[in-house]
């Protein structure tokens, strides 16, 4: 129900911006399931880090982008959720002396993850086109 | 981090999955976070994991469907057995229940075996169904025990008679943590034996089995055994399904 309302809103917004993205159709075919913004941030950070993507490396990337602290709890629960959705794969890496001899949990974005992140990016950039903060206008500001 | 602070963080991380604990403690080390920040981070993750666990039905079932009712009833059963044993030694059972002397010992043994079976199966269900919320079940079991121990006033009996059920229950929990499911044949044998012993005790006339209280007592304490049968049946069906699928894919 929530998904169909979301898809309807997104489709209407895209139509208003003259974009041909039918989110209802996408949802119905289970092609695109919109991810959350934190999930998108995490996937993007992991993709940027490529072979060096693991918890302690992803956190500063997210913090630098958002300007907010990223807690370990939020990071690891989101990694688990994304792994269950098939958007990420994780495995235990090597232990290093700088980590006190403890192993890393390495992260890799799957092909499905790349597709979904691309879909999210296109939707957000598409729907943002013409917004006052993008076009640097002051419309709507009283 | 100082060693003492590090130990606190390590203790806090014990409820996490071993791989996750390794990764999280390594991350904290690598980022050289303060002990306080590390503790907050670990506790935050532990809290999130616990909240996620409690979204499923298993922790609720083990905590409020098994631990709470069974703790109270098993304390009563433990006390009853100790009292019966004392009466048996005194020779009062023969007079009070009008039982033939030959029946007294088998019925007492049956009561003891029932207590063992009920406690073990309840412990096994708690240990196998929701191992990561075991601490909640332990607290919920200890609270009524402490409450009853504090108010125990039977001069002829030691107050530790109340806790007789804890030994087999702990054994069951340990077993449940090791093997998540019983073999179906074992589960059926256990549940059938428990039910037959209840029937035997009922037919002997020592228990008023037809009263609602007796029905509730027996049903509450026996259902974990039948739950194990159901769980083993489901596992067996799933295993058979998986092996059929594997066979299908290879041919």
Q: Which of B12, B22, B27, B40 to mutate to test the interface with A (most CBs of A within 10 A)?
A: B27
Same domain, A71 and A105: yes
Q: Which domain holds residue A4?
A: 1-34
**Which pairs with CB-CB distance under 8 Å and at least 24 residues apart come from B235-238?**
B235/B181, B236/B184
Nearest CA in chain A to B49: A77
Kindly report the average pLDDT of chain A as a whole number: 81
| Residue A52 within any structural domain of the chain | yes
What's the rounded mean pLDDT across residues A105-133?
92
Q: How far apart are the first and last CA of chain A?
A: 35
What's the rounded mean pLDDT across residues A16-26?
51
Q: Is the pLDDT of residue A140 over 70?
A: no
Task: Give the domain CATH number at A46.
Answer: 1.10.10.10
A131 Cα distance to chain centroid: 21
Same domain, A2 and A39: no
| Residue A134 within any structural domain of the chain | no
Same domain, A14 and A24: yes
Number of domains in chain A: 2
**Maximal CA-CA distance, chain B:** 76
Same domain, A80 and A25: no
Same domain, A112 and A45: yes
Kindly determine whether residue A73 and residue B48, on different chains, have CB atoms separated by under 8 Å: yes
Residue found by looking up tokens 């409450």 in the block: B147
What's the rounded mean pLDDT across residues B156-164?
85
Nearest CA in chain A to B19: A92
Kind and range of the H or E run holding A98: none
| Residue A98 within any structural domain of the chain | yes
pLDDT for position B4: 78
pLDDT for position B251: 30
Highest mean pLDDT, choosing among A18-32, A102-116, B83-97, B139-153: A102-116
User: What pTM does this model have?
Assistant: 0.71
Contact residues, chain A, for B45 at CB < 8 Å: 71-73, 76-77
What's the rounded mean pLDDT across residues A123-139?
80
Kindly report the average pLDDT of chain B as a whole number: 84
Q: What percent of chain A has pLDDT over 70?
A: 72
DSSP B105: H
């Amino acid at each position: 129900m929530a998904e169909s309302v979301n898809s309807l809103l997104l489709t209407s917004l895209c139509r208003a911006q003259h974009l041909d993205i039918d989110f209802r159709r996408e949802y119905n075919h289970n092609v695109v399931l919109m991810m959350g913004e934190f999930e998108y941030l995490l996937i993007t950070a992991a993709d940027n880090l490529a072979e060096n993507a693991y918890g302690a490396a992803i956190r500063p990337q997210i913090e630098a982008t958002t300007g907010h602290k990223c807690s370990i709890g939020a990071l690891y629960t989101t990694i688990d959720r994304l792994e269950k959705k098939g958007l990420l794969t994780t495995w235990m890496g090597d232990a290093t002396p700088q980590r006190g001899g403890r192993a890393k949990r390495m992260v890799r974005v799957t092909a499905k993850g790349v597709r979904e992140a691309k879909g999210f990016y296109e939707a957000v950039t598409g729907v943002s086109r013409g917004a006052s903060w993008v076009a640097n206008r002051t419309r709507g500001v009283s | 981090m100082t060693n003492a602070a590090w130990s606190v963080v390590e203790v806090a991380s014990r409820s996490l999955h071993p791989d996750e604990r390794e990764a999280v403690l390594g991350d904290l080390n690598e980022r050289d976070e303060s002990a306080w920040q590390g503790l907050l981070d670990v506790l935050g993750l532990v809290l999130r994991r616990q909240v996620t666990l409690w979204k499923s039905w298993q922790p609720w079932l083990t905590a409020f469907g098994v631990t709470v009712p069974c703790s109270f009833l098993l304390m009563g059963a433990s006390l009853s057995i100790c009292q019966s044993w004392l009466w048996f030694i005194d020779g009062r059972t023969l007079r009070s229940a009008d039982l033939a002397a030959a029946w007294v010992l088998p019925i007492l043994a049956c009561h003891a075996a029932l207590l063992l079976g009920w406690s073990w199966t309840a412990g096994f269900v708690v240990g196998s169904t929701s191992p990561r919320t075991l601490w909640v079940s332990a607290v919920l079991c200890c609270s009524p025990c402490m409450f009853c121990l504090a108010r125990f006033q039977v001069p002829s009996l030691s107050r530790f008679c109340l806790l007789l059920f804890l030994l087999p229950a702990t054994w069951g929990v340990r077993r449940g943590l090791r093997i998540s499911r019983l073999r179906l044949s074992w589960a059926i044998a256990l549940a059938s034996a428990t039910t037959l012993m209840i029937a035997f005790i009922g037919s002997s006339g020592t228990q008023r089995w037809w009263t609602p209280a007796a029905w509730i007592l027996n049903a509450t304490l026996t259902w974990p055994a039948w739950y194990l049968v159901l769980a083993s049946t489901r596992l067996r069906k799933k295993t058979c399904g998986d092996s059929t699928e594997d066979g299908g894919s290879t041919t």
